[in-house]
C-alpha cells in the first residue's frame, strides 16, 4: 500500500480551504485510505495525505466519533489503523455477501498453541513441546502459518539454530487486540478459570 513519495498533484496543505473544511477533507482522505487498504495503515503512511504537522491521531479520533453510527469502525492494530465491520453485522454479511472462506476454523487446541506462541515468542517447536508435554505437529504449525496467524521468527541461538515462531498482525486482527501487551496476564487467565494456577 505504501508509496515512497506523495502524489505530486496532491495538495496536502489545502491552504485555499477554510480550517473546518480543510480538517473535514483530511478526515475524508484518511477514511478513503483506510477503506482502500487490505491491511492496517501505519501513522506515517496516513501522514502522507494530510498537511505537514497535522495530527493523524486527532484526525482518527474525530473520524472514530463520526463513524459511531455506521456499520463499520476504525480499529487500531499494532500502531496502525484499519476499517472493519462491527461484529453486530457479521450475520448479515454472511447471509448476503460473498466473503469467501474467511473462517479460521480453529480448534481449542489450535488456540492454545497460538496463545503459547503469543505469550512466549519467539518460541521453537521444542519450547512448545516443553509447555504442552508433547510434540506439536508440523501440520498444525503449517496450518497456523498458512492462515497467516504465525510467522517465522529469528533463528534460535541454540545448537542447530532451529526456527522460532511469532504471531503476526493477522493474529492481532483475528483476536481483536491492538498489541501483544493487550493479552490478558496470567493472573487474569487463572481468575477466569482458563489457566492452571
* Co-location of 113 and 178 in the same domain: yes
- The candidate with the shortest Cα–Cα distance to 172, out of 91, 47, 75, 41, is 75
Residue 55: which residues within 8 A CB-CB, separation 6 or more? none
**pLDDT at position 42, please?**
96
Contact criterion met (CB below 8 Å) for 95 and 106? no
pLDDT tens for 6-50 read 567 899 999 999 999 999 999 999 999 999 998 999 999 999 999
* Co-location of 80 and 56 in the same domain: yes
The Cα–Cα gap between 79 and 40 comes to 9
> How many domains does one find in the chain?
2
Helices (H), 50-152: 56-66, 90-96, 108-120, 125-132, 138-146
Look up the domain containing 157 and give its range.
108-191
Spans of the chain, pLDDT less than 50 = 1
pTM: 0.66
> Can you read off the three cell numbers belonging to residue 35?
477503506
Kindly state whether residue 14 falls inside one of the protein's structural domains. no
DSSP 123: B
The Cα–Cα gap between 7 and 48 comes to 9
Kindly state whether residue 100 falls inside one of the protein's structural domains. no
Kindly state whether residue 159 falls inside one of the protein's structural domains. yes
* Co-location of 90 and 132 in the same domain: no
What DSSP string runs through 93-116?
HHHHS---S------HHHHHHHHH
Kindly state whether residue 137 falls inside one of the protein's structural domains. yes
Kindly state whether residue 135 falls inside one of the protein's structural domains. yes
Residue 94 backbone phi and psi in degrees, to 5: -60, -35
CATH of the domain at 77: 1.10.10.10
**pLDDT at position 118, please?**
93
* Co-location of 56 and 120 in the same domain: no
**pLDDT at position 38, please?**
87
Amino acid at each position: 500500500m505504501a508509496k515512497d513519495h506523495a502524489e505530486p498533484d496532491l495538495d496536502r496543505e489545502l491552504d485555499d480551504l477554510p480550517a473546518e473544511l480543510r480538517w473535514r477533507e483530511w478526515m475524508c482522505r484518511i477514511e478513503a485510505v483506510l477503506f482502500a487498504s487490505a491491511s492496517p495503515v501505519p501513522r506515517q503512511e496516513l501522514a502522507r495525505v494530510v498537511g505537514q504537522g497535522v495530527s493523524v491521531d486527532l484526525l482518527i479520533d474525530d473520524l472514530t466519533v463520526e463513524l459511531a453510527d455506521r456499520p463499520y469502525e476504525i480499529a487500531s492494530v499494532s500502531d496502525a489503523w484499519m476499517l472493519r465491520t462491527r461484529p453486530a453485522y457479521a450475520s448479515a454479511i454472511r447471509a448476503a455477501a460473498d466473503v469467501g472462506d474467511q473462517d479460521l476454523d480453529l480448534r481449542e487446541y489450535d488456540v492454545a498453541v497460538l496463545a503459547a506462541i503469543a505469550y512466549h515468542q519467539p518460541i521453537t517447536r521444542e519450547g512448545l513441546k516443553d509447555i504442552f508435554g508433547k510434540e506439536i505437529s508440523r501440520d498444525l504449525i503449517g496450518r497456523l502459518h498458512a492462515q497467516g496467524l504465525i510467522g517465522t521468527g529469528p533463528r534460535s541461538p541454540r545448537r542447530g539454530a532451529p526456527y522460532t515462531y511469532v504471531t503476526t498482525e493477522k493474529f492481532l486482527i483475528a483476536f481483536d487486540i491492538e498489541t501483544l501487551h493487550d493479552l490478558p496476564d496470567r493472573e487474569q487467565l487463572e481468575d477466569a478459570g482458563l489457566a492452571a494456577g
